[in-house]
Amino acid sequence: MRIKLILSFLLVAISLPSQGEEFSLDSCRRMALANNKRLKMANEKVEKTGFLRRESRAAYLPAIDAEASYVYNQKKLALIEEDAKLPTMSFDASSGKYGYNLVTTPDGSPLIVNGQPVPSQVALLPKSALTYDIHNVFAGAVTLTQPIFMGGRIRAMNEITKYAEEIAMRERDMAIEDIIYDVDAAYWQVVSLKAKERLARSYVALLDTLSHNVNAMVAQGIATKADALNVAVKANEANVDMVKVENGLSLSRMQLARLCGIPLNSVFTLKDEGSPVEPDIVPMTGYNINDVYRNRNDVKALELAVKVYDNKANAERSSMLPQVAIVGAYSVTNPSSFNGFKNEFGGMFSIGAMIKIPIWHWGGNYNKYKAAKSETVIRRLELENAKDMIALQVSQASFKMQEAVKMYTATHTNLKKAEENLRTARLGFREGMLAADDVLAAQTAWLKSHSEAIDAEIDMRLCNVYLAKVLGNLAQEVNLK
């Protein structure tokens, strides 16, 4: 028992990330794909459709069934009510025919009693000879049924299940892309907030330094108490903002942990938290929309759906066509009547053909076929509408990516200017040429430019991931498919 308990703890320890473990973006993606329940359901759906496809394929092969039954009957079976007396016949050489043996009168005519001639001889058929023991009746049969032509229904169902399996695979690929995008967004959100946390601490340190300097100047009579209070208010606001960033960072880590399938209270760091590498992203200059359609899993799924409903129409059409099958069987019964009625098992082979020809159903089958054809048209229109929406989506993602690149360049240019502006303001403040408000303004501009630079970098990364997603290249680009 103690050994089992120790092994259980070891398994739990192995399954959980170690304290302070560092995760890269790629490892987060892989953990999410390994633990995501939506993806597990998608994989199970692929398994299910595979089983259905194999089931429909089996319809081409002969079906073999065995049946057995037992019946207990209270009474025996008697074919006559009482002993039967049957008249006999003799051959008349003079006429060359058989005639009944009858009782005759002295004049040679048949004796008539109650309107019926009286036979001179009878054959006794006892009731017991036609009474059968059916108290225990056993029956069994082995039947083989081979479809020959079912109006094309079997082939249509095989096509439907094949396309359904492919649709399930496409839906699984779409789930993979959604998971990757969600993980990337959560990952870079943590990186962004971690960078803003460092920025907030740097800003608080700047304000603390400025507050110390202003208080010293107030003591010397160079600055006013209003200047000191103004700096103190800014310092308090910066501390509050830092707490908000820290809380947001904790929640973002929990969200990433949830997506990765690890405990929410796990302690971990991200590879890009320390000093994010500048993204080496080349803006997309153009794309072929037909290539996008070929790469998009949702378009492929809709195209397959059109084929599914087209084959459903063929399946409905089969109800208006003849159906032919061959049936063979070996049946056995007890009692057996193949060689007299005996309480023993007796069996025989039988083989035959079955054909069903629909003649008139008041348009019911035809209307079902036309309804299925209309459903196919609806799916085609949905496909065309989806392509229009995808073209718009790709254009928007492309413009957004180009805008993000421009914003990234502009914010990094502004960042350099803000750094120089802050350096100049602090130098002027020390020389007594600028007031504390000027330094505060420069520090605020410095904070804003750094924050915008962080947002621009993260936005460019996410725009790049989203663009790859709408182009249908995300799974190939991250090499997880």
3-state SS class at 341: coil
Q: How confident is the model at residue 370 (pLDDT cuts 50, 70, 90)?
A: very high
Give the integer Cα–Cα distance in Å for 384 and 395: 17
The Cβ of residue 218 has, within 10 Å, a number of other Cβ atoms equal to 17
Strand 346-356, strand 323-334: pairing? antiparallel
H or E element at residue 195: helix 153-219
The Cβ of residue 194 has, within 10 Å, a number of other Cβ atoms equal to 22
* Predicted confidence (pLDDT) at residue 389 exceeds the cutoff of 60: yes
Whole-number pLDDT of residue 431: 77
Q: What is the pLDDT of residues 87-128, one digit of tens each?
A: 888 888 888 888 888 888 888 788 888 888 888 888 888 888
Instruction: Answer for the pair 46, 103: CB distance below 8 angstroms, yes or no.
Output: no
Average pLDDT over all residues of the chain: 86
Least confident window among 70-79, 103-112, 163-172: 103-112
Whole-number pLDDT of residue 12: 37
Mean pLDDT (whole number) for 42-61: 94
Give the integer Cα–Cα distance in Å for 57 and 160: 11
Report CA Rg, the chain. Answer: 46
User: Residue 443: exposed, middle, or buried by beta-carbon count in 10 A (0-12, 13-18, 19+)?
Assistant: buried
DSSP 278: P
Strand 89-92, strand 97-100: pairing? antiparallel
Chain-centre distance for alpha carbon 32: 17
Nearest to 297 by CA among 476, 52, 53, 51: 476
Whole-number pLDDT of residue 5: 35
Whole-number pLDDT of residue 275: 65
Nearest to 35 by CA among 286, 356, 258: 258
Give the integer Cα–Cα distance in Å for 250 and 266: 11
Whats the size of the chain, residue-wise? 481
* Predicted confidence (pLDDT) at residue 382 exceeds the cutoff of 90: yes
| Partners of 68 in the β-ladder | 140
Sign of the torsion formed by the C-alpha atoms of 112, 117, 121 and 126: negative
* Predicted confidence (pLDDT) at residue 420 exceeds the cutoff of 50: yes
Whole-number pLDDT of residue 17: 45
Whole-number pLDDT of residue 101: 83
Strand 63-72, strand 346-356: pairing? unpaired
* Predicted confidence (pLDDT) at residue 202 exceeds the cutoff of 60: yes
* Predicted confidence (pLDDT) at residue 15 exceeds the cutoff of 50: no
| Partners of 117 in the β-ladder | 112
Strand 131-132, strand 77-78: pairing? antiparallel
Cα→Cα distances 45→32, 82, 172, Å: 19, 70, 9
The string of DSSP letters for 94-110 reads TTTEEEE-B-B-TTSPB
Give the integer Cα–Cα distance in Å for 356 and 438: 96
For 340-358, letters b (16+ CB in 10 Å) and e give eeeeeeeeeeeeeeeeeee
Query: Cα angle at 256 between 251 and 262, to 5 degrees?
Result: 110
Here the tokens at position 381 are 């229109």
Instruction: Answer for the pair 305, 120: CB distance below 8 angstroms, yes or no.
Output: no
Domains of the chain: 19-61+152-321+362-478 (1.20.1600.10)
Q: How confident is the model at residue 235 (pLDDT cuts 50, 70, 90)?
A: confident
